[in-house]
């Protein structure tokens, strides 16, 4: 199943569902680690990143992510997260989930100011930032398979 969220509120509902019904993980990270990674990425939308990608590679990455930035559809691009946004080893899931809800709520507020650039893709407008984060959340949360089926997710 290709998980896709219409907005960050749907990602929050998915996290609540995963935590309520339990889940099996099909990746390397715990749910807390997934949330920590997503929190670090979501925070970048507000405060920027402490890392960059080579300027000459950004147009290539932008082409690879063009469909994601246009309509929020998954990208085939996969890779290892930069060390600055890799999760810690031992985390409190409740804390990470609450931080995720807070960040998503902040980003969904229309008056929230976003930084203008993403390290890998260059300049992004508000809509592109949100589509990228929705895709990113869906990508990582898809590794947590709920014990009861997901419902009402696009």
| CB within 8 Å of 96: residues ≥ 6 apart | 31, 32, 35, 36, 39
Domain ranges of the chain: 8-146
Model confidence pLDDT, tens digit, residues 68-123? 666 655 555 556 666 667 778 889 999 999 999 999 999 999 999 999 888 777 88
**What predicted TM-score, i.e. pTM, was given to this entire model?**
0.84
Three-point CA angle 74, 79, 83, nearest 5°: 125
Residue 77 has what pLDDT? 55
Percentage of the residues of the chain whose pLDDT score is greater than 90: 55
Model confidence pLDDT, tens digit, residues 21-64? 999 998 889 999 999 999 999 999 999 888 777 777 767 776 77
Residue 62 has what pLDDT? 67
Closest CA to 17 of 153, 141, 150, 152: 150
Residue 56 has what pLDDT? 75
Residue 5 near residue 152, CB atoms below 8 Å? no
């Amino acid at each position: 199943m290709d998980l896709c969220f219409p907005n960050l509120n749907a990602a929050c509902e998915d996290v609540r569902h995963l935590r309520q019904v339990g889940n099996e993980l099909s990746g390397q990270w715990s749910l807390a680690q997934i949330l920590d990674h997503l929190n670090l990425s979501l925070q970048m939308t507000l405060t920027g990143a402490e890392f960059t990608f080579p300027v000459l590679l950004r147009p290539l990455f932008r082409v690879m992510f063009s469909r994601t930035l246009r309509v929020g559809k998954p990208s085939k691009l996969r890779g290892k997260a930069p060390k600055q946004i890799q999760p810690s080893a031992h985390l409190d899931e409740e804390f990470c989930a609450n931080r995720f809800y807070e960040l998503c709520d902040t980003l969904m507020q229309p008056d929230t100011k976003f930084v203008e650039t993403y390290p890998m893709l260059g300049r992004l407008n508000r809509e592109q930032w949100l589509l990228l984060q929705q895709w990113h959340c869906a990508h990582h949360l898809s590794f947590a398979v709920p014990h009861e089926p997901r419902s009402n997710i696009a």
